[in-house]
Amino acid sequence: MKEAMVQIQGLDFCYQKEKPLFRETRAEFYGGQITGIVGLSGCGKSTLLRLINGNLSMEKWPDVSGQILIEGKNRETWNQDELIQKMGTVYQDPDCQILFSHVEDEWVFGMENYQLTAEVMEERMTAVCDLLQIHHLRYRNPNHLSGGEKQLVILASIYCLEAEILILDECMAQVDPDGRQLIGEALQKLRDAGKTLIMVEHEEKNLQIADRIYRVINQKLIEEVISG
């Protein structure tokens, strides 16, 4: 079996000693799969994502043990620029992530930071429009898009940077049923393109597209068997 893109090994983490979030937690996340994480509010789902994407450093907390591996390498040894290139995060509120009043500018911004040529940028934007079938969004103003369409714009931005790992923190929470369908279809296409998708959701119905599901129970991630 191929090696997991992300591995959580024996993770203990707590903000306060009397309130541990995780104890001896283990999990694996693979390329070409959507892996869901579900649990009650306050159980640590979003904290776990922040530990994975580097927004929360394990080294700054005294009551932490275990490790998180990205492509077999301890996450703490990656620098932030490397992590940004390796993975992208989509949050609940798309308006907090969209900076520009033109969709194409949104996509170009990140690529320009990596000094990609105009030719390469055009190739990547065309590729993601083909993959997600969003050519019609390319020249729009994001402020005039639906919540689901805005999330597609953010997913496309991450794809343009060729991130291999997508972190999805309740990305369907603020969209209507039509938006959830748009996002779900896009995520499945990204999975089929070989991406590793880690999807936290409070609403279990949003995880119907998941290939694997972990439930947070008693400070651990317990994998559930998906029937059918």
For residues 171 and 225, give the distance between their C-alpha atoms in angstroms, rounded to a whole number.
Answer: 23
If pLDDT is split at 50, 70 and 90, which confidence band does 199 have?
A: very high
pLDDT in tens, 211-222: 999 999 999 999
For residues 162 and 124, give the distance between their C-alpha atoms in angstroms, rounded to a whole number.
Answer: 9
For residues 143 and 51, give the distance between their C-alpha atoms in angstroms, rounded to a whole number.
Answer: 31
Task: Indicate the residue type of 195.
Answer: K
pLDDT for 3 equals 84
List residues bridging with 13 in a β-sheet.
22
pLDDT in tens, 81-107: 888 889 999 999 999 999 999 999 999
Whole-model pTM: value is 0.92
Considering the chain, what percentage of its residues have pLDDT values greater than 90? 72
Distances (CA, A) of 200 to 35, 124, 161: 9, 27, 22
pLDDT in tens, 123-173: 999 999 999 999 999 999 999 999 999 999 999 999 999 999 999 999 998
Structural domains of the chain in order of their starting residue, each with its CATH number: 6-224 (3.40.50.300)
pLDDT (average), residues 111-134: 95
Task: Indicate the residue type of 6.
Answer: V
For residue 100, report the phi and psi dihedrals to the nearest 5 degrees. -115, 165
Length of the chain equals 228
List residues bridging with 220 in a β-sheet.
217
3-class SS letters over 6-69 = EEEEEEEEEEECCEEEEEEEEEEECCCEEEEEECCCCCCHHHHHHHHHCCCCHHHCCCCEEEEE
Token couple for 130: 């083909």
pLDDT for 85 equals 86
Token couple for 139: 């020249």
**DSSP letter, residue 5:** S
The alpha carbon of residue 159 and the mean position of all alpha carbons in its chain are separated, in whole angstroms, by 11
Token couple for 32: 């070409």
pLDDT (average), residues 15-29: 85
* Catalytic site residue from 71, 170, 185, 203: 170
For residues 92 and 76, give the distance between their C-alpha atoms in angstroms, rounded to a whole number.
Answer: 26
pLDDT for 150 equals 95
Q: Which of 12-21, 40-49, 95-104 has the lowest average pLDDT?
A: 12-21
Model confidence at 228: pLDDT above 60 = no
pLDDT (average), residues 12-25: 82
Model confidence at 1: pLDDT above 60 = no
Could you give the angle at the alpha carbon of 196 between the alpha carbons of 83 and 144, nearest 5°?
80
For residues 44 and 50, give the distance between their C-alpha atoms in angstroms, rounded to a whole number.
Answer: 10
Token couple for 101: 């009043």
Active site residue 170: yes
